[in-house]
Amino acid sequence: MGLPTSIETLLIGNVVEGARIEFKTSWMPEASLKTICAFANDIDNWGGGYIVLGVKEENGRPVLPVEGIPVSQVDGMMKDLLNKCNLIQPRYLPVVAPVEYQGKTLIVIWAPGGDVRPYSSPDNFTYLKAKAVASKERTYFIRKMASTVKPSQHELNELYSLSNKVPFDDRVNHQAEMTDLNINLIRQYLSAVGSSMVKDLDSRPLEKICEDMGICNTMPEYRKPKNVGLMFFSDEPEKFFPYAQIDVVAFPKGLGGDEIDEQTFKGPLDQQLKDALRYISNNYIQRKIIKHPDRAEADHIYNYPYAALEEALANAVYHKAYDVREPIEVRIEEDKIEIVSYPGPVYSVTREQLKDYRVSNRRYRNRRIGEFLKELHLTEGRNTGFKKILDAIKRNGSPLPEFETDKEHSYFISRIFVHPAFISDVEDEKKIGKTEVINPENGKTEVINPKKGKIEVITEVINDGINRLRGENDGINDGINPEKAKIDGINPENGKIDGINDGIKSKLSHIAVKKRERIEKLLEIINENPSVASDLIAIQLGISRPTAERYLAELRRMEIIRREGSNKSGKWRIL
């Protein structure tokens, strides 16, 4: 049985977080069995972890060169390891494999999160005649940071609650068949991550390979793929997960313009992510080279730093709920790019944390999706995504980003603003230097404005009617009568909306006609019955409940409506 990653990745890579790896010089049943049990319990849905035997550890890092395990001890150590793992209850066996590294033999133990949590192991061992004898007392163990500890009562309760909550991406898909998995996609992945399993593809049954990768169940009489397997190794994941796609929507002439460019990216999650990023990079990312008369080095700036967009979109793919029938949407506007996904972050992430850029999330929605994206170097480790985005933006000199969700965590937006130098404004011509750009047709650097002492904006993409840098419309409330403080267009006799006011019309102008008509009807429904529930809205509009909830979330995000009071007894209010 092979490992899902390479020993090089575990020893010198940064794909697997340090809290998920332990290095030990030899097999020590008491300490190692507790760690295996903790990884199996996987209380934070990290995806389990690894123990590498034959490597000394210092400050959480492996000491190189490795010490290795004497070849004469390998077989006996592996037999004892598997025998001791039989003491874990319910039954749990990790994947164990000897590997060679720089002429030394190591043993790698891969302990993924188990399906029947919680797991317990003997509390301690006594040693009689050099043999470890387990105690009858049993204890649950969990991982906290990089340590294996006994859980508190609250954490123990969490463990029990997890027993009935297998994450969606790790669930068996009963509507799919093993033939829905593409062996060529599996081969490409195993080759890309340097897994030793790639050489076994032609000699071992595909079911066994998939079982080792954790992308199918273990019942030979009822073999079915897991959701994560279909998301990465099926040609058409959207057959099983409707709207598992990325929609890139651009407004070349502004939100009020009559032109919209739309592209949809489907297929395996890693492929649609790569394709969407490539499309955005080729069509919407621009570079400006500014030469200065007083120094040889030129400044290179981009309208949007690619590394920030890459991490923001990868995070959306990582954290989206794939049982919610909504796509990830990338909205490219005049002065910003918004990446919208549904639902919002888990409830341990607060709106205050998002505003302060200090998110420290303990639990993850899609632990398995995260594993595959990290192995492919498409996303960062735990709690490092925001830092990567901020670092890229600061290096480029761009305005700080915004991260947004609502009180109900029904959506999440990453908002990245255009660099000020790319805003079409007369004031920008006062900067010193001259501008050169890369011509996409011939790949050469060309001077746009050779006149010394001025900078000419590459493309005039910003509308003067938009508040610079933040895209705020200074005329948002133009449709509100300042004397009556009421929305013009509401009939005072019957309270119905006879016409949407100019301020709301402006906000809705970029939306497709059919959808805009539905939203206007939705506003009428809210005006007639402020306490209306989303399922009733869905019935009256002839749409699904998730779509109705998405419309409500969009209206709240655009500050057209807001919710007052609780979800059960509260009311909608048109602003």
Instruction: For residue range 9-28, list pLDDT tens digits in order.
Output: 889 866 677 778 999 999 98
Neighbours of 34 (CB within 10 A): 23
Mean pLDDT of all residues in 284-300: 84
Question: Environment class of residue 327 by beta-carbon count within 10 Å: exposed (0-12), middle (13-18) or buried (19+)?
Answer: buried
Residue predicted with more confidence, 89 or 478:
89
The average pLDDT across 465-484 equals 34
How does strand 472-473 pair with strand 466-467? antiparallel
User: Has domain 7-165 been given CATH number 1.10.3470?
Assistant: no
Task: Tell me which of 29 and 303 has the higher pLDDT.
Answer: 303
Long-range contacts of 529-534 (CB under 8 A, 24+ apart): 530/571, 530/572, 530/573, 531/569, 531/570, 531/571, 531/572, 532/572
What is the distance between the alpha carbons of residues 116 and 365, in angstroms, rounded to a whole number? Answer: 18
149 neighbors 43 (Cβ within 8 angstroms):
no
Under 8 Å CB-to-CB from 571, ≥6 apart: which residues?
A: 530, 531, 563, 564, 565
Instruction: Judge whether 557 and 543 are in contact, CB under 8 Å.
Output: no
Domain ranges for the chain, please list them. Answer: 7-165, 178-239, 246-472, 480-574
> Any idea which of 53-62, 127-136, 328-337 has the lowest mean pLDDT?
127-136
Please give the biggest Cα pair distance in the chain: 94
Whether 342 and 326 have beta carbons less than 8 Å apart is answered as yes
Q: 480-574: which CATH topology? A: Arc Repressor Mutant, subunit A (1.10.10)
pLDDT of residue 447: 44
| pLDDT at residue 96 greater than cutoff 50 | yes
Tens-place pLDDT, residues 536-563: 888 888 887 767 877 887 788 788 888 8
If DSSP codes are grouped into helix, strand and coil, which group holds residue 426?
A: helix
- pLDDT at position 91 is 87
Query: Domain 246-472: which topology?
Result: Heat Shock Protein 90 (3.30.565)
CA distances from 412 to 77, 174, 200, 408, 573 (A): 48, 30, 41, 11, 22
pLDDT digits (tens, 9 = 90+) for 137-195: 889 999 988 889 999 988 888 887 766 667 889 888 989 999 999 999 999 999 998 88
Sequence-separated (6 or more) residues with CB below 8 Å from residue 98? 74, 78, 105, 106, 107, 108
